[in-house]
């Protein structure tokens, strides 16, 4: 079996498979690497002071080599913060208004991709299968092809892909589209993203879908598909079952005694719709006085990409908003919103999801949204909670038969869905949950990985 080479901007620490701290994606990809042997390459997360040389730091773990590279401060500024997170991230999340184009940042993005390709090249064997992840590294295959590599190379985009009208506002859209066409397989989260991609090819007569999941562009044929990413459903459910004994989860349970818990868990990111969600919760409380002092909304939100001005601004906006709602609606013995700016460990998170009667997941746009899937997997079948889910999350396409779907821009509608969730009879909650859980047991992260790799190697 050929070796597998994975490249992603962030590389998880080389901890053992199944370790409590590792997310499902890391566990699933590590399992594939351990089976085939291979390399996981990416950025170390550090920036070095001087420009060169930046040797790869190699760590061997059984048959897997972790290859990490530092970037210079300028690289991080231009490639990571500048182009990846101030151009591609907003554009792919349909936020034209937030995209900040700069020639320097665009050049930095392509330069760092070339640098990755040059660092990777000496480690590659001719029959290695290469799998590149996410928007930071779209041009990587084109760089490798230019260096003469003929390996199978696949790409998976973890975030949404926008329609042509949105993408083509980006000055270097052509280079980005050519970058994607250099892969043998391009994977998206949903059919909708895949259709948008086909539309982008057609718009400038660059290529088209030609059936059977194949596309043409630049006189070349390549494959494209939708592969919805998922979680380790069974393992996460097991975590949640056991999490009740954790003292933090016990303390949380004690603190919400006699109250219904609503939970929101997201990176502090404008795509997650946190401000609209807080508005909807406030509206729900105002519209439903019977629920006053009977609910607690816990929003767990670690800071993210704080050097990007929009994210920094958001930290202030959300903190002020939570403070304002608590000030306006709180009473001497009730705080309506508990707002926490930290990560929590996966076992505790699983326990908190299970405590919550409602999982409130309302991104304005999201590639998939794993929190929605984790919330479902963590529920107690005897007393299942309700998932209130944005129709603009990739997960909505998979969980629509069980979740209450909402339009996160419709504050009144989301407030009504919250009321419906909290008043839902047990039988309906169980039925809805069972439909989602059956789907997630069948479509877990291992299946996502295997479907993608089978198509790439076929």
Active site residues per annotation: 158, 366
Stretch of 58-66, 161-169, 243-251, 265-273 lying at the interface with ligand ADP (CB under 6 A): 265-273
283 near ligand G6P, judged by CB under 6 A: no
Q: CA-CA distance, 83 to 113, in Å (whole number)? A: 12
Residue 373 as a binder of ligand G6P (CB under 6 A): the answer is no
- Comparing CA positions, the residue from 259, 336, 260 lying closest to residue 299 is 336
C-alpha 87, offset from chain centre: 17
Minimum CB separation of residue 194 from ligand G6P in Å reads 17
The only residue of 268, 370, 384, 389 in contact with ligand ADP, by rule CB under 6 A? 370
- Min separation Cβ 344 and ligand ADP, Å: 4
Torsion of CA 199, 271, 116, 185, to 10 degrees: -30
Residue of this chain nearest to ligand G6P (CB atom): 158
Considering only 368, 387, 389, 440, the residue that binds ligand ADP (CB under 6 A) is 368
From the list ligand G6P, ligand ADP, none, which binds 300 (C-beta under 5 to 8 Å, kind-based)?
ligand ADP
3-class secondary structure, 202:
helix
Tokens 């390399």 correspond to what residue?
39
User: 87, 159, 176, 318: which one contacts ligand G6P (CB under 6 A)?
Assistant: 159
Q: Is 193 in the site for ligand G6P (CB under 6 A)?
A: no
Which of 18, 73, 302, 323 contacts ligand ADP by CB under 6 A? 302
Q: Which of 158, 429, 432, 449 binds ligand G6P (CB under 6 A)?
A: 158
Residue 194 CB neighbour total at 10 angstroms: 21
Rounded distance between C-alpha atoms, residue 174 and residue 195, angstroms: 18
Rounded distance between C-alpha atoms, residue 100 and residue 171, angstroms:
11
- Of the pair 275, 304, the CB lying nearest ligand G6P is at 304
Q: Rounded to whole angstroms, how far apart are CA atoms 362 and 360? A: 6
Residue 305's binding partner out of ligand G6P, ligand ADP, none, with CB under 5 to 8 Å set by partner kind: ligand G6P
77 alpha carbon, distance to own chain's centre: 22
The answer to whether 445 and 32 have CB atoms below 8 angstroms apart is: no
Which one, 222 or 353, has the nearer CB to ligand ADP?
353
Alpha carbons 183 and 325: distance in angstroms, whole number: 49
Taking CB under 6 A as the rule, does residue 371 contact ligand ADP?
yes
Of the residues 54, 145, 203, 267, which one makes contact with ligand ADP according to CB under 6 A: 267
What DSSP state is assigned to residue 387? E
Q: E strands along 346-432, which residues?
A: 358-361, 386-390, 404-406
Given 10, 104, 214, 391, the residue binding ligand G6P (CB under 6 A): 10
Q: Does 305 bind ligand G6P (CB under 6 A)?
A: yes
258 in helix, strand or coil? coil
Q: Which of residues 128-147 bind ligand G6P (CB under 6 A)?
A: 134
Tell me which residues touch ligand ADP (CB under 6 A).
23, 265-267, 300, 302, 343-344, 349, 368-371, 374
């Amino acid at each position: 079996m050929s070796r597998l080479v994975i490249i992603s901007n962030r590389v998880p620490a080389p901890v053992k498979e199944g370790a409590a701290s590792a997310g499902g994606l890391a566990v699933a990809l590590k399992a594939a690497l351990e089976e085939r042997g291979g390399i996981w390459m990416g950025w170390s997360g550090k920036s070095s002071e001087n420009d060169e040389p930046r040797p790869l730091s190699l760590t061997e773990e059984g048959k897997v080599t972790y290859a990490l590279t530092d970037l210079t401060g300028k690289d991080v500024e231009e490639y990571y913060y500048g182009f990846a997170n101030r151009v591609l991230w907003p554009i792919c999340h349909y936020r034209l208004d937030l995209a900040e184009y700069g020639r320097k940042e665009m050049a930095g993005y392509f330069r760092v991709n070339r640098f990755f390709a040059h660092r990777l090249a000496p480690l590659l064997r001719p029959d290695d299968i290469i799998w590149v992840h996410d928007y930071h590294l779209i041009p990587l295959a084109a760089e490798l092809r230019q260096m003469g590599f003929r390996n199978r190379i696949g790409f998976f985009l973890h975030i949404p892909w926008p329609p042509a009208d949105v993408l083509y506002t980006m000055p270097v859209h052509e280079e980005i589209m050519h970058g994607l066409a250099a892969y043998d397989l391009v994977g998206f989260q949903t059919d909708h993203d895949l259709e948008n991609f086909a539309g982008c090819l057609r718009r400038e007569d660059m290529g088209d879908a030609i059936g059977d999941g194949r596309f043409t562009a630049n006189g070349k044929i390549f494959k494209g598909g939708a592969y919805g990413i998922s979680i380790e459903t069974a393992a996460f459910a097991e975590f949640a079952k056991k999490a009740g004994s954790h003292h933090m989860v016990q303390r949380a349970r004690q603190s919400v005694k006699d109250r219904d818990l609503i939970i929101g868990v997201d990176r502090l990111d404008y795509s997650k719709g946190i401000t609209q969600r807080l508005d909807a919760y406030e509206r729900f409380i105002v519209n439903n006085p019977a629920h006053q002092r009977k609910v607690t909304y816990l929003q767990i939100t670690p800071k993210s990409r704080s050097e990007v001005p929009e994210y920094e601004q958001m930290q202030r906006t959300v903190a002020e908003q939570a403070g304002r709602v608590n000030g306006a609606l709180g009473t001497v013995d009730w705080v309506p919103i508990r707002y926490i700016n930290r990560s929590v460990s996966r076992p505790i998170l699983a326990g908190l999801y299970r405590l919550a009667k409602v999982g409130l997941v309302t991104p304005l746009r999201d590639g998939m949204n794993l929190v929605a899937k984790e919330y479902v997997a963590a529920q107690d079948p005897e007393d299942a909670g309700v998932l209130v889910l944005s129709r603009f999350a990739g997960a909505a396409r998979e969980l629509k038969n069980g979740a209450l779907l909402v339009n996160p821009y419709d504050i009144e509608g989301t407030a009504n869905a919250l009321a419906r969730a909290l008043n839902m009879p047990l039988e309906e909650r169980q039925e809805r949950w069972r439909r989602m859980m059956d789907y997630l047991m069948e479509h877990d992260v291992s299946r996502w990985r295997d479907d993608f790799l089978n198509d790439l190697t076929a």
